[in-house]
Amino acid sequence: MEMVDDYYIEHFVTQHDMLRQLAVYNAKQGPIEQRKKLIVDISEDNEPKWLTEQKSQPIKARLLSISSDGVFSTKWQSIQLPEVEVLVLNIQTKNYALPQFVEKIDKLKVLIVTNYGVLQADLSNFKLLGSLANLKRIRLERISIPSISKNSMQLKSLQKISLFMCSIGQAFSNSSIQILEAFPNLVELNIDYCNDLVELPAKLCDLIHLKKLSITNCVQLSALPDEIGKLDDLEVLRLRSCTDLERLPDSIKKLSKLNLLDMYFCSNIKELPEEIGEMSSLRKIKMVQCLRLLALPASVLNLEQLREVICDEDTENLWGEPFKSSLKNIDIRVVKEDFKRSWLHNL
């Protein structure tokens, strides 16, 4: 798997079952209370014996992974997790409530909730996270987001949110709190394979401290809000494989700190904003398989910091005269790839 500009070109890897089992086996060695990684598998209400007997408290693990069907006994209320920094919850249920003990994990920095069910899971008790002063990252997979936005809370330390194959179309429509108040220090937002996203909510543009906005493989996305120009600190805008997106808002010219614009596989974009040349910090553009883009605006000549253009053979032709002779510091790199779409686009 190759990573370019903090983005993985290939999304999926396969781990052999034996390697996974070996990793789990190694993690389960030694006394419960001394393990750095604690992996727990629960079905229905069958808790591990060490928990029910309360012989291994407090737990000193830094990573806690719990796989369950969503049923948690009240015995979990008394679990002591003073050192846990990463909490991984693997679920397989339509409705799931974050366990009550989450609000007591004072050192928690990373929360990962992965739903292995076919449909997105409704997540409740999200308000418990409001008491976690050290929480910096949240990753949700196959989760229905609308239920989250109804909670009034502040996650002051949160810096990164990643949403993968989630339902987010109505995520911020009924929020009872201003999004900047809820996430005052958010600097990175990743939205991937969220197929119900038709138009990026304008409220997201109130996250004025965002440095990286990545919207990838959202094949229903047809529009970005005009308010996107409010993201003064944005350095990376990635719109990879948003195949229904037809245009970029004119206000993109206000993104004076943007240094990377990624339009890989945005096959429906017909034109770039006329005043894109005002993006004074833009250093790199990726425009592979922009099949309907037939010309570049003249203001591209004003992109004095532009150093690299990644394109295919068709879009390379757009960078002929007068651009070729005027922008002499640009490295125009032509890539050849297999452009067959992933099976996930048909989900």
Query: Residue 247: pLDDT band by 50, 70, 90 thresholds?
Result: very high
How far is it, in rounded angstroms, from Cα 181 to Cα 263?
30
Task: Give the confidence band of 16 by pLDDT, cuts at 50, 70, 90.
Answer: low
Contact status, residue 163 vs residue 145, Cβ threshold 8 Å: yes
Residue 1 pLDDT greater than 50, yes or no:
no
CA distances to 32, 61, 85 from 36, in Å:
9, 4, 10
pLDDT tens-digit profile of 174-213?
A: 666 688 888 999 999 999 999 999 999 898 999 999 999 9
Domain 31-186 has CATH 3.80.10: yes
**Contact, 92 vs 66, CB < 8 A?**
no
DSSP assignment letter at 43: -
Residue for token digits 């922009």? 290
Instruction: Say what percent of the chain tops pLDDT 70.
Output: 77
User: Which pLDDT belongs to residue 173?
Assistant: 62
Tell me the domain boundaries of the chain: 31-186
- What does residue 252 show for φ and ψ, rounded to 5 degrees? -60, -25
Q: Across all residues in the chain, what is the average pLDDT?
A: 84
Q: Could you read off the pLDDT of 90-129 as tens digits, one per residue?
A: 999 888 888 888 998 999 999 999 999 888 898 888 888 9
pLDDT exceeds 70 at position 20: no
> Which parts of the chain are beta strand (E)?
3-4, 7-8, 37-41, 63-68, 86-91, 95-97, 110-115, 121-124, 137-141, 143-144, 160-164, 188-192, 212-216, 236-238, 260-262, 284-287, 308-311, 331-334
Q: How far is CA 131 from the centre of its chain?
A: 23
* Strand order, beta sheet including 121-124: 95-97, 121-124, 143-144
Kindly report the backbone phi and psi dihedral angles of residue 182, in degrees, each rounded to the nearest multiple of 5, phi listed first. -75, -40
